[in-house]
Structure 1
Amino acid sequence: MNSNKFMDFLEKILLPIADKLNNNRYLTALRDGFMVALPLIIFGSIFVVIANFPFLDHIISKDAYTAYQNALGPASAATLSIMGLFVIIGIGYKLTQHYGGEALYGGVVALASFLILTPQVLGKTTGVIPTSALSAQGMFLGIFTAFISAELYRYFVNKNWTIKMPPGVPEAVSKSFSALIPIALTLTIFLAIRIIFSYTPFETVQNFIYTIIQKPLTALGSGLPATIVAVLLIQLFWFFGLHGQIIINSVFDPIWYTLNDQNLKAFQSGHELPNIITKQFIDSFLVGMGGTGMTLAVVVLIFIIGRSRQIKELGKLGGPAGIFNVNEPIIFGLPIVMNPLVLIPWILAPVVVTIITYFSMATGLVPKPAGVIVPWTTPIVINGFLATGNHWQGGVLQLVNLLVVMAIWWPFLKILDKNYYESEKKASNE
């Protein structure tokens, strides 16, 4: 009875919040905007790993190694180093699409608005945009700019402040002229914003955003307490059948990607990595062990202690997918969703692993994430090796974490399996 009351309490608190977050057009556009950029980010990350392959600098000459890195450098420079641009285009596109407008113009007006706000000065050279302003460092400004520009563009279109072309004009030409006035008005507003900020102590919108918003939020997101809260919420939302990763990532991804980018730049320049908590910390050492909740440990346990037919069949079904971090068969087949018997290990295990991983890196036992984005389907051990900049300690840490999760899940899976076994036995005797 107490268990049911607790479940009802959680349901009343969490479900309305999750529903609002899932249906929020801005968070949805933010999430989908990152999805637009993801293939490019992964491509760049793969070549960062290849360019910094372990021991290669000891095998070939220094000049050959430098030439090798210079040859592969454009792969990351054209993707990871300007990832903010792709996210901005994606957000503007998706938000405009949500309103039923011309999505392509929503994407390009977001990009142009951001570039207007971006100072085109590097040192004493004018007409040059530093790539740091186009990467994760400029992403906070880019996100706000994309939201506002898409809304302004929609507003002017809805006011019918457009040029109507006569029938017979090619569709592409007609759409282009129709978008002319809304885009011009939107960009004019952003130009005015840039001019106004040039007369303030901040000088640029970038400095204002970084000082007032980005710096405090990034400091918060890089800490262990905020990360534990994020992990807890991810697990709780999933327990109620809601995609916790999407809901929470839509809020934390701008912070985690910024921290990730800082580590990547330090890694590429050979400096000490500044952050433990990054996007890849979450993706490799929590999600990259069988999916959300690290359910690869559950699959391994199934093969060790499983007696019931239901559990055994689930292990066969979920095993191959779990190796590549796809765990929907386990989440919905065990089930984990709305199952009070597994609530404790489902919530506890990721928190314990987060703490273990954090202090392993804080004490120097394991290198910090190098900033490369490892494809999310990369299997355990390989995943940890690549995420830490090709260090074996990352793979070993994943194995240790796997054993920890197995130990936490063992008694609960044993009880669940026993219940299924007895039910099957009873059904066969009837």
Structure 2
Amino acid sequence: MNKFMEFLEKILMPVAEKLNNNRYLTALRDGFMVALPLIIFGSIFVVIANLPFLDLLIGEEAYSTYQAALGPASAGTLTIMGLFVIIGIGFKLTEQFEGEGIYGGVVALAGFLILTPQVLEGVSGVVPTASLGAEGMFVGIFTAFVAARLYHFFTKKGWTIKMPPGVPSAVSRSFSALIPITLTLTLFLVIRIIFDITRFDSVQDFVYTLVQAPLMGLGSGLPATIVAVVLIQLFWFFGLHGQIIVNSVFDPIWYALANENLQAFQAGEALPHIVSKQFIDSFIVGMGGSGMTLAVILGIFLIGKSRQMKEMGKLSAPAGIFNVNEPIIFGLPIIMNPLVIIPWLLAPVVVAIFTYFTMVTGIVPPPTGVIVPWTTPTVLNGFLATNSWEGGVLQAVNIVIVLVIWWPFLRLLDKQYYDTEKSEEAAKTKADNENNEKND
């Protein structure tokens, strides 16, 4: 076991270090965080607009009016989520280059809009919302990277307009950004013109056909999902935030898949994907945190005899209910603990496979694409993610599966702690008796 752990540490630690320090992946992660409040806002109103059985209670006509009234909430956030992510990435990456973040954000957005065809069904001057959502996500991400990098390059070269002293700082900064922004957007315009004369018509068509569609096909499959889940668990085992590291790579794919599911759900069509952002967040991470440790806390209450385990259960339970599991990860501990590496790696994989097949067989509907706040408690989380009671039941079943896998290992760990505590008590009692005899 020690040799295996040394081997994993030797392989994983350098990779994780590089991923954590990569400014582009960091900007990607932080860019999604900028968009997250807006995404959650839109998701909440999608849930409210599609409450189960509401059409039966108020009638079809009233239900349609009700949905139309709430529709702009998601149309103005979820449907065009790519725009917020682009601004966030451009802003954060430019900040990492120690530049004016706001200009990095707006030049990334402008570059993306220049590349985006502004024609819809023969009408010019109209930007298709599909290009601003799932289909345009990959173009938007790489546009933000390139735009922020070019803006930084031109600024660093000193190709800026220097205003005399006494000019208000806002005006000075604006003129200083003028030439770098102009050069950056000119290059994007040239790229747009080049693609206009190719068979792809636009950068979006090119990227979606040759890059995004194949990657989404890969990311929506079970094998890639299992690889992602295993990596999350391995990184956490060595004390690294596995979700941040792995999600920075997979999030663009998972969000795009979730957005396609959401569009199908709102149109009343069959959901095209099983795996999506909410598949991971609700049915793996959203059950107590990474590793689904809510089941571990439950097991501690059922099994625990040692004081350490009992206290850890009491301390971890309130946070675990809301999917915060740092207390149990660092307190049990799970990090670098060879006694728990098997259930820690095995349980999420088993649950991912089980969840996938319950959904692919139609027993439980897939997630609708609604982004449920990650602190939503288990069962309610599954209900909201799938818009069905079956989702909540599936989460409950998954908790039982994790508990069964962890049971023998928790018993072993509890016995180890219990025996240690008894030995310490016996040693203390013996020492006290010896001191009493000496005093007598």
2:415 matches 1:418 = yes
The structural deviation recorded for 1:150 is 0.4
Query: Does the 8 Å contact 1:239/1:338 carry over to 2?
Result: yes
- Please name the residue that 1:407 is paired with: 404
Q: CA RMSD in A?
A: 0.5
The structural deviation recorded for 1:414 is 0.6
Query: Does the 8 Å contact 1:89/1:146 carry over to 2?
Result: yes
Aligned AA (2:416)? N
Give the one of 316, 319, 323 matched to 2:317: 319
- Please name the residue that 2:305 is paired with: 307
The structural deviation recorded for 1:90 is 0.3
The structural deviation recorded for 1:61 is 2.3
The structural deviation recorded for 1:136 is 2.3
Aligned AA (1:367)? P
The structural deviation recorded for 1:429 is 1.5
SS class of match (2:136): helix
Measure the CA separation in 1 of the matches of 2:243 and 2:31: 15
Deviation string 1:26-55 (CA, Å, 9 cap, x unpaired) is 000000000000000000000000000011
Matched ranges for 1:283-362 at <5 A: 283-362=281-360
- Please name the residue that 2:34 is paired with: 36
Matched ranges for 1:263-278 at <5 A: 263-278=261-276
Q: Percent identity between the aligned chains?
A: 73
Measure the CA separation in 1 of the matches of 2:78 and 2:307: 47
Deviation string 1:215-254 (CA, Å, 9 cap, x unpaired) is 1100000000000000000000000000000000000000
Aligned AA (1:409)? W
- Please name the residue that 2:218 is paired with: 220
SS class of match (2:340): helix
Measure the CA separation in 2 of the matches of 1:301 and 1:61: 46
The structural deviation recorded for 1:66 is 1.0
Measure the CA separation in 2 of the matches of 1:86 and 1:374: 18
2:401 matches 1:398 = no
Measure the CA separation in 1 of the matches of 2:66 and 2:130: 24
Query: Does the 8 Å contact 1:380/1:398 carry over to 2?
Result: yes
The structural deviation recorded for 1:424 is 1.0
The structural deviation recorded for 1:213 is 0.7
Measure the CA separation in 2 of the matches of 1:155 and 1:274: 41
Measure the CA separation in 1 of the matches of 2:53 and 2:154: 57
- Please name the residue that 1:61 is paired with: 59
- Please name the residue that 1:102 is paired with: 100
TM-score, normalised on structure 2? 0.97
- Please name the residue that 2:434 is paired with: none
Deviation string 1:122-166 (CA, Å, 9 cap, x unpaired) is 101110001111012211000000000000000000010000000
The structural deviation recorded for 1:60 is 1.0
Matched ranges for 1:44-123 at <5 A: 44-123=42-121
The structure with the larger Rg is 2
SS class of match (1:200): coil
Unaligned runs of 5+ residues in structure 1 are: none
Aligned AA (2:237)? F
Query: Does the 8 Å contact 2:135/2:204 carry over to 1?
Result: no
- Please name the residue that 2:22 is paired with: 24
Give the one of 159, 169, 190 matched to 1:161: 159
Measure the CA separation in 1 of the matches of 2:80 and 2:209: 21
The structural deviation recorded for 1:419 is 0.6
The structural deviation recorded for 1:301 is 0.5
TM-score, normalised on structure 1? 0.99
- Please name the residue that 2:430 is paired with: none
The structural deviation recorded for 1:330 is 0.4
| Moved segments of 4+, more than 2 Å | none
Matched ranges for 1:127-146 at <5 A: 127-146=125-144
Query: Does the 8 Å contact 1:137/1:261 carry over to 2?
Result: no
Measure the CA separation in 2 of the matches of 1:314 and 1:139: 42
The structural deviation recorded for 1:187 is 0.2
Give the one of 177, 189, 194 matched to 1:179: 177
Deviation string 1:337-373 (CA, Å, 9 cap, x unpaired) is 0000000000000000000000000111001111100
- Please name the residue that 1:256 is paired with: 254
Deviation string 1:75-96 (CA, Å, 9 cap, x unpaired) is 0001000000000000000000
Query: Does the 8 Å contact 1:294/1:405 carry over to 2?
Result: yes
Aligned AA (1:424)? E
Measure the CA separation in 2 of the matches of 1:189 and 1:104: 20
Measure the CA separation in 2 of the matches of 1:37 and 1:259: 17
The structural deviation recorded for 1:212 is 1.2
Aligned AA (2:423)? K
The number of residues matched between the two structures is: 427
